[in-house]
Homo-oligomer: A and B are copies of this chain.
Amino acid sequence: MSRVIRVAAAQMGPNQKSSSRSEILQRMIALLEEGARQGAALVVFPELAFTTFFPRWLLDGEELDSYFETAMPNPDVQPLFDRAAELKVGFYVGYGERTPEGQNFNTAILVAPDGQIVGKYRKIHLPGSVEPRAGAVYQQLEKRYFEYGDLGFPAFRTGAEWKDAIVGMLICNDRRWPEAWRSLALQGMELLCVGYNSAAYDPNGGDRESAELRTFHAQLVVQANAYMNACWAVAVAKAGNEDGSGLIGGSCIVDPNGLIVAQARTLDDEIITADCDLDLCLQGKTKMFNFEAHRRPEWYSRITGQVGVKEPEKVA
């Protein structure tokens, strides 16, 4: 049986604070339709796709509340779910989740082509800080607004419409952490979806990392982790000038050799697609990265046994 899935990365241009929810949703539906028109069975949207990247602002009260979804789906986003089910296209999408108990998470879900939510992931590697940086116009307050994900790194075995692919989800900064990829690959992950909002520069003028270097970093980690875990990866940006703060693009689809097979050319709404042959994972999974044959976890204890760095003593 052929195990080829056509996948689309639905890069989004910026969602301004002033953009209405329905305007953003219409853009997402247009991207979904373009993905479907190109034959994709899975469309991957960015992190926090329905809103601006609100952790850049110090907010509270109703304004902060307005960025969270208290149910998924809900009336605001239902048209996306409806259109996807109509087109028989599934999707990954990131959003701010508020639970009935009032917990907030930076969350992504996987929606099958029949409209069922078949997977949920809550971001574990939250960057930024709890307290705002004094004097900074732009903040990174993910550690303030979200709790650390409490679902671990679950991989999901999907159905026939996705060729029974084992799919993993990460969110933004997670993709820079090899522990996250490996936790998914140890479940046989064949396809990794990750949406992101990554700064193109320090909006407060504090460093010298160019947008090119940041885009290189973003692609490098996806390429190497896809290779080292013998899986496909779809990495999807919200890009461009959002509320005066720049976001990199560089959305890409990467094969199990770590090669970019498709990449976005703009900082705007843009669909790219690739045919992902899941059986291309087998070369890595059975040879170079045959975990059962080659991993030596008895020597990995620092990875789970400590959080930060413990430096060695000086040699005499």
Residues in A lying within 8 Å of B, measured CB to CB: 118-119, 124-127, 148-149, 152-159, 164, 166, 173, 176-179, 181-183, 185-188, 207, 213, 216-217, 220-221, 223-225, 227-228, 257-259, 283, 285, 288-297, 299-315
* Contact for A186 among B127, B221, B303, CB less than 8 A: B303
Copies in the complex: 2
* Contact for A221 among B153, B224, B297, B306, CB less than 8 A: B224
A220 to B260 Cα, complex, angstroms: 12
Provided the pairs A186-B309, A257-B213, A312-B154 are in contact, do residues A295 and B179 lie with their beta carbons within 8 angstroms? Answer: yes
The reply to whether A312 and B228 contact each other, CB–CB distance below 8 Å, is no
Provided the pairs A311-B187, A315-B158 are in contact, do residues A124 and B296 lie with their beta carbons within 8 angstroms? Answer: yes
What's the nearest-Cβ distance from chain B to residue A280, in Å? Answer: 12
Residues of B close to A221: CB separation below 8 A: 224, 227-228
Give A297's nearest chain B residue, CB to CB: B304
Complex A-B: 13 CB contacts under 8 Å? A125-B295, A125-B296, A156-B312, A157-B312, A178-B181, A179-B182, A185-B309, A188-B309, A188-B312, A213-B257, A216-B259, A291-B307, A295-B307
What's the nearest-Cβ distance from chain B to residue A268, in Å? Answer: 26
The reply to whether A301 and B302 contact each other, CB–CB distance below 8 Å, is no
A154 to B311 Cα, complex, angstroms: 10
The reply to whether A310 and B217 contact each other, CB–CB distance below 8 Å, is no
Residues of B close to A304: CB separation below 8 A: 297, 300-301, 303-304
The reply to whether B312 and A291 contact each other, CB–CB distance below 8 Å, is no
The reply to whether B258 and A153 contact each other, CB–CB distance below 8 Å, is no
A158 to B312 Cα, complex, angstroms: 10
A290 to B309 Cα, complex, angstroms: 9
A312 to B186 Cα, complex, angstroms: 10
Provided the pairs A216-B258, A315-B157 are in contact, do residues A187 and B308 lie with their beta carbons within 8 angstroms? Answer: no
The reply to whether B289 and A308 contact each other, CB–CB distance below 8 Å, is no
The reply to whether B310 and A186 contact each other, CB–CB distance below 8 Å, is yes
Give A179's nearest chain B residue, CB to CB: B300
The reply to whether A312 and B155 contact each other, CB–CB distance below 8 Å, is yes
Please name 12 further chain A to chain B contacts, defined as beta carbons within 8 Å, in addition to the given A166-B312, A297-B304, A303-B303, sorted by A numbering: A149-B299, A152-B299, A156-B315, A179-B182, A179-B297, A213-B257, A216-B258, A220-B224, A220-B227, A290-B308, A291-B307, A304-B304
